[in-house]
Amino acid sequence: MKFLLVLCAFVAIGASHAIPAIPGDNSHYVEGESRYIWMPDGEGKPVLVDLHEPVDEALLNSRNGANNQYWLFTRRNPTSAQIIRINQPNTIWGSNYLGSRPLKVIVHGWRNNGNTPMNSAITSAFLAVQDCNVIVVDWRALASQHYNTAAAGVPNVGEHLGNFLTWLINTAGGNWNQVHLVGFSLGAHVVGNAGRRTGNRPARITGLDPAGPLWGNNGNRLARSNGQYVEAIHTDGHLLGIFTPVGDADFYPNGGKNPQPGCLASECSHGRSTDLFASSVRHPNRFVGRRCNTIWDAELGNCNGNNLVMGNAVINKRGSGLYGLRTGRAWPF
């Protein structure tokens, strides 16, 4: 009997380290154990990632957060970015930035960049409901590298973002109580590190399906202490996204995992978090979560506690706990 158990264990370990044959099929994946996982590239095509591949230290040093670009959008330039450069105040004075407006910051994920559709969807949603400054962070220099290298560079990218925001507010005005950081996948951990760098001063941080692989026990992941209020929306838990609660309030639409309604693959479910958030900004009370007693209840959707709205752009939003809800399969969900 003992031999059989040991044999089964070796078979399981071997299976978790086998190279999956079908592109995009993550049915083999076991969080925290599997070596390989399919992830979407910038065009949504599956890329096989080896989570044991060594970090490229040379690239990590040359393509760090110092390469971040900061693209400003306002109602005066809703689709044409104005580039603001740290320690170059003239780039602020020549822009449409106003310190009296609320500040929204959006950070993309792996193999994405400032032109990735999620950025324009969330930017246009913010500008539709509020006269604000929106800064899209383009960190493609590192995000375009192998996943392990990009993930290893997340803390540095976040620290540079935190330094930039501190410089921006000190130079051109602003109020930390009006700052809302939004990050998707690896970008969720970037904004967590940015908040930590600023002394946890941002009024609100929203993590959109924070990246899961390599982040389960990572001390640099998004945490509730990174801002005054931290919220996470989980849509592909146990696969591309982390399932563990990380914020003051954690939302698990449709169980928080793949497949989300209307999705056939993990990459669709992962990206659904950005769609749900953009919709929630335009329709502030559309997604109402019910509090769950346990994480298992959240996964099963057995939640009947108090209500808390998921997402939206309310800067002074507060709440705590785990929340479940159901959404539709197509916009506005």
Given a contact cutoff of 8 angstroms between Cβ atoms, the answer to whether 105 and 137 are in contact is yes
Given a contact cutoff of 8 angstroms between Cβ atoms, the answer to whether 79 and 73 are in contact is yes
Q: Let me know if 124 is a catalytic residue.
A: no
> How far from the centroid of its chain's Cα atoms is residue 4's Cα?
42
Measured CA to CA, the distance from residue 31 to residue 16 in angstroms comes to 10
Measured CA to CA, the distance from residue 195 to residue 112 in angstroms comes to 21
Given a contact cutoff of 8 angstroms between Cβ atoms, the answer to whether 70 and 76 are in contact is no
Q: Which single residue is written with the structure tokens 């599956």? A: 46
Q: Let me know if 280 is a catalytic residue.
A: no
Q: Which two tokens stand for residue 190?
A: 């970037």
Which entry of 95, 138, 189, 209 is annotated as an active-site residue? 209
Which entry of 95, 185, 273, 280 is annotated as an active-site residue? 185
Residue 298, helix vs strand vs coil: helix
Cα atoms in the Cβ-side hemisphere of radius 13 Å centred on 54: 4
Q: Looking at the DSSP assignment, which residues form a beta bridge with residue 72?
A: 82, 135
Q: Let me know if 160 is a catalytic residue.
A: no
Of 160, 35, 168, nearest to 107 (Cα)?
A: 160
The pair phi, psi for residue 169, each rounded to 5°, is -70, -40
Is residue 242 exposed (0-12), middle (13-18) or buried (19+ Cβ within 10 Å)? buried
Q: String of b and e for 176-205 (b: at least 16 CB within 10 Å)?
A: bebbbbbbbbbbbbbbbbbbbbbebbbbbb
Runs of H (alpha helix) within the chain: 2-16, 57-62, 90-93, 117-129, 140-143, 147-172, 186-197, 266-282, 295-300
**Which residue type does 266 have?**
S
Which entry of 270, 275, 279, 280 is annotated as an active-site residue? 270
Among all residues, which ones are annotated catalytic?
185, 209, 270
